Structure 1
Amino acid sequence: MSKHGFFQITQKLFLRDGNSLLVLRDQKSGHGDLPGGRMNEDEFFEDWSESISREIKEELGESIKIEVNPVPIFVHKHRVNEGNLPCIIIAYDAKLLAGKVQLSDEHDFMEWVDIKSFDPKKLFSEYMLDAVQLYLTKYA
């Protein structure tokens, strides 16, 4: 008999400024990343938007103002870089309202890329690449 799995949840934002999408690179792994991150255990039974807000402040700075559509655009499988643990990506659409991104030390690179011409294969890999390609196919 198979046993039930335990999976982490990461909430990722496809953060847009018009036709530009914010892409990041994880400082530890060197892999492409998107704003957002894993939900803490104590956040699970709370409003999930609070977890997103916490991650955005940590990763993009206090001054950035964004609007997140609270309805997920898709769910995708992923492996967390640390420990290669199975994880579920819940993807959201978001738009930049004001402010300038101040990268944390979690990421060592950022770029606003044109969704019509961006090739994610240069930056992203594995399941995150699949998720970004899915987004670009649907929303570019």
Structure 2
Amino acid sequence: MAIQKENHDPYLFQVSLKLIIKNKKGEVLALAMPENSSMAGFYDVPGGRINSDELRMSYEEILKREIAEEIGKSVRYRLMKRPVSISRHPYFSARYQKEMYIVFIFFEAKYLSGEIKTSNEHIGYRWLKLGKKNVSKCFVRGLYEGFKNYFEWNR
């Protein structure tokens, strides 16, 4: 099947790895979004986009960098090495002047130890007891879709 040029846009998607970190109580680490964010009043989870210089790196290495950046280098966790959810997040790219999508690939980890220190991307954190009924109050768009899939696919 031939690719139709008008539908083929390699700059439409970016890939982001997200980590659902759970403590001993089963609560999820949620990072509070700042007031000037499009997600103000909601939460994020640690993780971020794969950089162009990381394309040949393992997912574990990329997540390790993102976790160190967003919640501190002292945080220790045990990573489950298989994805637990996937979703899409639309956003407007100022660089490309068009709507684009981030494809989120979610992994899960068990929090072991370390002091959580949020970066300037977030204004704090909470451990949240999440379920199907309250996840829409905590996350929006792609993150909400990802958690919805997580609860449905990982029963």
TM score, norm. by length of structure 1 = 0.86
Q: 1:69 aligns with which of 60, 76, 80?
A: 80
Q: CA deviation at 1:138?
A: 4.3
Residue 23 of structure 1 corresponds to: 30
Change (3 A) 1:80 1:34: farther
Is 1:102 the equivalent of 2:79? no
1:113-124 correspondence runs (5 A): 113-116=128-131, 119-124=134-139
What is the DSSP-based 3-state SS (H/G/I as helix, E as strand, rest coil) of the residue aligned with 2:123?
strand
Q: Following TM superposition, by how much is the alpha carbon of 1:116 offset from its aligned partner in structure 2, in angstroms?
A: 4.7
What is the deviation of 1:93? 0.9
Shift of residue 55 of structure 1?
0.5
Aligned to 2:148: 133
Gaps in structure 2 of 5+ consecutive residues: none
Superposed CA deviations along residues 52-108 of structure 1, whole A, max 9, x for unmatched, are 100100101111101111211122212357655311111101110111211111111
1:134 aligned partner, one-letter code: N
Contact 1:25–1:123, Cα closer than 8 Å, also in 2: no
Equivalent residue letter for 2:15 = I
Partner of 2:62: 51
Q: Residues 74, 135 of structure 1: CA spacing in aligned structure 2 closer, same or farther, 3 A cutoff? A: closer
In 1, are the aligned partners of 2:84 and 2:153 still within 8 Å (CA)?
A: no
Amino acid at match of 2:10: G
Higher Rg = 2
CA shift for structure 1 position 110: 1.3
In the alignment, is residue 111 of structure 1 matched against residue 126 of structure 2? yes
**Identity level (%):** 26
Q: Deviations over 1:28-50 (max 9, x none)?
A: 41242111111110101122211
Give the secondary structure class of the aligned counterpart of 2:120: coil
Q: Give the 3-state SS of the residue equivalent to 1:107 in structure 2.
A: coil
- In 2, the alpha carbon distance for the partners of 1:87 and 1:94 equals 21
Q: How much has 1:11 moved relative to structure 2?
A: 0.3
Relative distance call for 1:97 and 1:132 in structure 2 (3 A) is same
Unaligned runs of 5+ in 1: none
How many residue pairs end up in the alignment? 140
